[in-house]
Amino acid sequence: MIGQRPPLLNAGLTPARPILKWAGGKTQLLPILRYAMPRRFRRYVEPFVGAGALLFDLALPGSLASDSNADLIQFYTVVRDRPGELLAATSQLPISEDDYYRIRALDPNSLSPVERAARFLYLNKTCYNGLRGVPTPTNEVEYCANTKP
């Protein structure tokens, strides 16, 4: 039964997959996590959402996602509230090593919420293994030639 979704969770829905790459992501652990989930509960709360693999897999109404990374929460807020604008903004971003470093150097505080979310997604998809989840001076990951971020 390992890997089987308990029957009362997400009945009949196709789960969404994580949008982001994230260090410590749980996608590969989903079969084990599904097995360990209780059959019934009132609300799922994800305190460290990251890429949100289990949150999206469960797809339960009323779930709560939180994280200490304000840029990550801002990104998910834009995904929820302004997905079309985010898609338009990300589709216009050029993909090259020079552009990666130029976009990485932008001050996120000078950007609109949609531009900031687009930058966040762009850096996550074009940096080495998606390891640039928390932007700090000590976490400057190099460019990865990913032609389809």
Whether 36 maps to a domain, the answer reads yes
Distance CA(65)–CA(122), nearest Å, equals 22
**Domain carrying residue 110:** 70-130
Strand (E) or helix (H) holding 46:
strand 45-46
Whether 136 maps to a domain, the answer reads no
Q: Give how many domains the chain has, as a whole number.
A: 2
| CATH number for the domain that contains residue 34 | 3.40.50.150
The residue out of 47, 67, 87 marking a domain boundary is 67
Coil, helix or strand for 39? Answer: coil
Is residue 149 scored above 70 in pLDDT?
no
Distance CA(83)–CA(16), nearest Å, equals 15
Q: Are residues 41 and 30 in the same domain?
A: yes
Is residue 2 scored above 60 in pLDDT?
no
C-alpha 43, offset from chain centre: 21
Is residue 8 scored above 60 in pLDDT?
no
Whether 15 maps to a domain, the answer reads yes
Q: 148 falls in which pLDDT band (50, 70, 90)?
A: low
Residue type, 47: P
Task: Evaluate the CA torsion angle 113, 123, 63, 46 in order and state its sign.
Answer: negative
Q: Are residues 109 and 86 in the same domain?
A: yes
